[in-house]
């Protein structure tokens, strides 16, 4: 497929802002958002009017095209509404992990330099603590009423301290309901989403509206207007905000929106919303499988699930819960969606019962996959570990060695790629030109992920080549963990690294700590401090206190020796 054809396909797809406004005009009564926490429903027309009101009010506060606005929110409904309002203005959506605090929060807000911040009640102490570090004063706050599910009487009276200027989010929901009419182009910046850095602080990935087309194209093509996308992922996660909410909006589907994952309530939510499509991370699936099997486990509407990563028990899961298809792939904050494949889990008599099925028929799924060049393989046969499908049409994908030479099938190397159209990949790392250049050396974008491919062009993920750690669906760098721990007044230095998690396919964090001379520190004393300074997913599972860390002659910590020491204890 040449670049002219690719451009035509993306032009026909349109931009995300245009599609929401299109559905509001042509399908005004179509349900867009079902916010399950409040049992509240919003049609495309209702959503578009509210987003327009928010947009015009933000414009009145000085927000214009190209301005960055940070969102520090757990409430996904407020986040989605604000996100679309910003896109309508051509402003930049800059989400923050709502678990951040202290040093982590201060760094990201200072690095982004937003025009203003949108947040929610209960986060005032976190902002007051770092107010002297921040380059803005305007803060929009969602303050839930006592009737709303996220109202907390213990935090309802908290307030921001000067110099912050507070604006009520509720006031933004009134006003001008018309489309703002700002010209948006595919090369305009849509988002800055932060990703962990292996040797430094997190980097802001600058994404264009075309990056979003790249990330969502295959997912949009696989959706039917009757599908309902289930979303309980956080909105600072590209999977939640873009892969689920974004692509559903592109296709004119419904989104079933929830604050967080719940294993005990998952299937009730699927039933009440009629969800047919979902994204499940590794840590979620074992929890769902642990529930006592029931005779009606297959009697639900969920037909297609993207599993990330693909577990060995995917077919067992699909057979038990009546899935027709499992989607696999490879994507990242910098590069969008790179590889894709489908597993047919119904080939030996399983699948979704016909009376619960919605969306494309099996035959239509096969037809769309063929048009996209996506492989479909049977789920009941053995699938090699790390299977990701084949390369998507918007990228040239290669496995390269340390000198950027292309490797042969079966050889291990780094996933690297080149875009086939402008603005498909990240524009840059925000305010980090050196990192941008380094990652794009020799005109290849280097993902930092290790993989191999076979003689049929199928790709298989092997590992993360840098200092990345994966915990509860979050990518963490060892630098981030060490950077926080090293600020403890009694810590001289530390070294963090991953070991296989006790459950699932992710990691547990191990940290070796050297205490400052003349001080004493033990795990019982350090744990409460870590609870205050770190989000829960970043806290080490294992702590070890040592007199020194093994180092090379150039003072680089030899973490492999620490890992050997840890495993020699009988761990893992």
3-state DSSP call for residue 312? coil
Q: Is residue 121's pLDDT more than 90?
A: yes
Q: Which residues pair with 464 in a beta bridge?
A: 449
Same domain, 423 and 487: no
Close Cβ partners of 174 (under 8 Å, ≥ 6 residues apart): 53
Can you give the pLDDT at residue 194?
Answer: 95
- Flag whether pLDDT at 117 surpasses 90: yes
What per-residue confidence (pLDDT) applies to 468? 75
> Do both 382 and 419 map to the same domain?
no
Please, which pLDDT band fits residue 474 given cuts at 50, 70 and 90? confident
* CB 144, CB 151: distance < 8 Å: yes
Residues 449 and 491 in one domain: no
Distance CA(470)–CA(507), nearest Å, equals: 5
| Residue 232 domain-assigned (yes or no) | no
User: Does residue 246 belong to any structural domain of this protein?
Assistant: no
Peptide bond into 68 cis (omega under 30): no
Q: Are residues 293 and 198 in the same domain?
A: no
Sign of CA dihedral 519, 522, 524, 530: positive
Cβ neighbours of residue 9 closer than 8 Å, sequence gap 6 or more: 217
Q: Are residues 67 and 194 in the same domain?
A: yes
Question: Are 480 and 550 within one domain?
Answer: yes
Is 449 within 8 Å of 464 (Cβ atoms)?
A: yes
Residues 6+ apart with CB under 8 A from 256: 34, 36, 228, 229, 230, 231, 269, 270, 273, 274, 275
Whether 527 is in a domain gets the answer yes
| Interval 514-535: pLDDT, tens | 999 999 999 999 999 999 999 9
User: How far is it, in rounded angstroms, from Cα 534 to Cα 496?
Assistant: 14
**pLDDT reported for residue 349:** 75
| pTM passes above 0.75 | yes
Arithmetic mean of pLDDT over the chain: 94
Give the model's pLDDT for residue 555: 64
Going through 224-273 in order, the beta strands assigned E by DSSP cover 228-231, 254-257
Backbone torsion region of residue 352, taken as left when φ is above 0, otherwise alpha when ψ lies between -120 and 50, otherwise beta: beta
The whole-number pLDDT of residue 469 equals: 84
Pick the last residue of a domain from 352, 368, 389: 389
- Whether residues 454 and 476 share a domain: the answer is no
Please give, one letter per residue, the 3-state secondary structure of 277-306.
EEEEECCHHHHHHHCCCCCCCCCCCCCEEE
Is 571's pLDDT higher than 80? no
Do 508 and 537 contact (CB within 8 A), yes or no? Answer: no
Per-position DSSP letters for 349-409, written without gaps between them: S-S--GGG--SS-HHHHHHHHHHHT--EEETTS---TTEEEEE-TTEEEEEE-TTSPBPPT
If asked whether residues 200 and 306 sit together in one domain, one would say no
User: Do 144 and 27 belong together in one domain?
Assistant: yes
Give percent above pLDDT 90 in the chain. 86
Same domain for 209 and 123, yes or no, is yes
CATH code of the domain containing 530: 3.30.300.30
pLDDT category at 199 given cuts 50, 70, 90 is low
Q: Is residue 149 part of a domain?
A: yes
pLDDT of residue 410: 95
Do both 356 and 427 map to the same domain? no
Residue 57 pLDDT greater than 90, yes or no:
yes
pLDDT tens-digit readout, 300-318? 999 999 998 898 899 999 9
With bands split at pLDDT 50, 70 and 90, how would you rate the model's confidence at 197?
Answer: low
Q: What is the pLDDT of residue 418?
A: 97
Find the Cα–Cα–Cα–Cα dihedral 381, 386, 388, 389, rounded to 10°: -40
The domain boundary, picked from 222, 255, 286, lies at 222
Say if CB 522 and CB 530 are below 8 A apart.
no
Q: What is the number of alpha carbons within 13 Å of residue 373 lying toward its C-beta? A: 12
Give the C-alpha separation, 414 to 444, whole Å: 11
Q: Give residue 463's pLDDT band: very low, low, confident or very high (50, 70, 90).
A: confident
* Host domain of residue 509: 469-568
* pLDDT reported for residue 198: 59
CATH of the domain at 19: 3.40.50.980
**262: in domain:** no
**Each residue of 402-452: pLDDT tens digit?**
999 999 999 999 999 999 999 999 999 999 999 999 999 999 999 988 999
CA 81, CA 85: separation in Å to the nearest integer? 6
Asked which of 407, 435, 464 is the last residue of a domain, the reply is 464
DSSP string computed for 500-562: E-SSSSSEEEEEEEEEPTT----HHHHHHHHHHHS-GGGS-SEEEEES---B-TT--B-HHHH
Residue 205 lies in a domain: yes
CB-based contact 476:548 (threshold 8 Å): no
Cβ–Cβ under 8 Å, residues 92 and 192: yes
Q: Which of 91-100, 112-121, 466-475 has the lowest mean pLDDT?
A: 466-475
pLDDT classification of 35: cutoffs 50, 70, 90: very high
Percent share of the chain, pLDDT over 70: 98
Q: Is residue 251 part of a domain?
A: no
Q: What are phi and psi of 272, to 5 degrees?
A: -70, -30
424 and 320 share a domain?
no
User: Which residues, at least 6 apart from 6, have a Cβ–Cβ distance to it below 8 Å?
Assistant: 393, 394, 420, 421
Q: How many residues does the chain have?
A: 572
* Span 353-357, average pLDDT: 94
Would 233 be classed as within a structural domain?
Answer: no
The pLDDT assigned to 572 comes to 58
Nearest to 308 by CA among 359, 205, 237: 237
d(CA 549, CA 492): 11
Q: Pull the structure tokens for residue 55.
A: 């947009």
Domain total in the chain? 4
pLDDT at 343 over 80: yes
Check which CATH number belongs to the domain holding 432 and give it: 2.30.38.10
């Amino acid at each position: 497929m040449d670049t002219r054809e690719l451009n035509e396909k993306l032009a026909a797809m349109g931009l995300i802002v245009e599609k929401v406004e299109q559905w509001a005009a042509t399908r005004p009564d179509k349900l867009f958002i079902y916010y399950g926490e409040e049992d509240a429903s919003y049609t495309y027309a209702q959503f578009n009017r509210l987003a327009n009101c928010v947009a015009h009010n933000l414009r009145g506060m000085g927000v214009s095209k190209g301005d960055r606005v940070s969102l520090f929110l757990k409430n996904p409904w407020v986040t989605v509404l604000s996100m679309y309002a910003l896109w309508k203005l051509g402003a930049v959506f800059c989400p923050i992990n709502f678990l951040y605090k202290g040093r982590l929060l201060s760094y990201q807000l200072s690095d982004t330099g937003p025009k203003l911040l949108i947040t929610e009640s209960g986060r005032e102490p976190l902002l007051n603590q770092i107010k002297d570090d921040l380059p803005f004063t305007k803060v929009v706050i969602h303050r839930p009423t006592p009737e709303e599910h996220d109202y907390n009487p213990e935090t309802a009276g908290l307030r921001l301290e000067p110099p912050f200027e507070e604006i009520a989010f509720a006031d933004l929901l009134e006003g001008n309901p018309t489309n703002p009419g700002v010209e948006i182009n595919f090369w305009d910046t849509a988002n800055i989403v932060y990703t962990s850095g292996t040797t430094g602080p997190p980097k802001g990935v600058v994404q264009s509206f075309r990056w979003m087309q790249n990330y969502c194209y295959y997912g949009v093509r696989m959706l039917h207007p009757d599908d309902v996308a289930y979303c309980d992922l956080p909105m600072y996660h590209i999977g939640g905000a873009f892969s689920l909410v974004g692509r559903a909006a592109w296709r004119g589907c419904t989104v079933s929106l929830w604050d967080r994952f719940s294993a005990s309530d998952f299937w009730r939510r699927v039933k009440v919303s009629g969800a047919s499509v979902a994204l499940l991370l590794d840590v979620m699936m074992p929890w769902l499988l642990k529930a006592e099997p029931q005779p009606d486990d297959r009697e639900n509407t969920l037909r297609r699930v993207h599993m990330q990563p693909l577990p060995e028990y995917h077919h067992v899961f699909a057979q038990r819960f009546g899935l027709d298809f499992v989607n696999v792939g490879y994507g990242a904050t910098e590069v969008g969606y790179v590889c894709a494949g489908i597993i047919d889990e119904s080939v030996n008599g399983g699948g979704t019962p016909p009376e619960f099925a919605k969306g494309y028929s099996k035959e239509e799924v096969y037809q769309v996959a063929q048009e996209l060049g996506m492989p479909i393989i049977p789920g009941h046969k053995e699938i090699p570990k790390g299977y990701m499908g084949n390369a998507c049409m918007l990228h040239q994908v290669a496995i390269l060695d340390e000198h950027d030479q292309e490797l042969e099938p079966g050889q291990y190397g780094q996933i690297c790629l080149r875009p086939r159209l402008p603005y498909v990949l990240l524009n840059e790392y925000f305010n980090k030109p050196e990192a941008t250049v380094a990652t794009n050396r020799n005109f290849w974008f280097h993902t930092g992920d290790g993989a191999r491919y076979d003689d049929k062009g199928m790709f298989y993920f092997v590992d993360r080549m840098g200092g990345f750690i994966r915990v509860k669906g979050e990518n963490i760098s060892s630098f981030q963990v060490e950077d926080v721990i090293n600020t403890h007044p009694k810590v001289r230095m530390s070294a963090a690294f991953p070991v296989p998690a006790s459950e699932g396919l992710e990691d547990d964090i191990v940290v070796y700590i050297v205490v400052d001379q003349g001080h004493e520190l033990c795990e019982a004393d350090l744990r409460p401090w870590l609870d205050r300074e770190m989000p829960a997913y970043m806290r080490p599972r294992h702590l070890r206190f040592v007199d020194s860390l093994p180092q090379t002659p150039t003072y680089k910590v030899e973490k492999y020796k620490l890992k050997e020491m840890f495993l020699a204890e009988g761990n893992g």
